[in-house]
Amino acid sequence: MIDVIVRGEGEVTLKEFVEGYNEKQPLHEIDGISYRDDDRINHNADRPLIEDINTLPYPGYHLVRDLMERYHFRAMTGPGVPYALIEGSRGCPHKCTFCSQWPHWQGR
């Protein structure tokens, strides 16, 4: 069973959710999530997109180095060569009917 879903950009929302969970913050105060409350599903307000993604820190690959050595895409790097993906930009201004990215990034 799923209790909470982070919608949209997850960087700020997930951090706020984890900190709020540890401090017993009510879920209705966290923008960008949907959550189950008994049999009812609640959808909080959307969190605005991050205006300047350069404010985000670089990923902490040192925290997952062991995992990167066990999980990698062999077709792209060859056996035993770990790597990770970084998206260089976000969004797309086009509205292709087959793509989920336009609604997710709001065409920005």
Percentage of the chain lying above the pLDDT 90 cut: 37
Top pLDDT among 74 and 18 is at 18
**For the chain, what is the total number of helices (H) and then of strands (E)?**
4, 3
**pLDDT tier, 93 (very low <50, low <70, confident <90, very high otherwise):** confident
Going from N- to C-terminal start, the domains of the chain cover 1-54
Tell me how far apart the 2 most distant CA atoms of the chain are, in Å.
48
* Distance, first Cα to last Cα, the chain: 33
Radius of gyration of the chain (CA): 17
Convert the pLDDT of each residue in 31-53 to its tens digit: 999 999 988 999 999 999 888 88
pLDDT tens digits, residue range 49-80?
A: 888 888 988 878 787 777 766 665 555 556 65
Residue type, 43: H
Q: Quick count: other Cβ atoms within 10 Å of Cβ 44?
A: 16
Beta carbons of 61 and 84 less than 8 angstroms apart: yes
Q: What is the pTM of this model?
A: 0.69
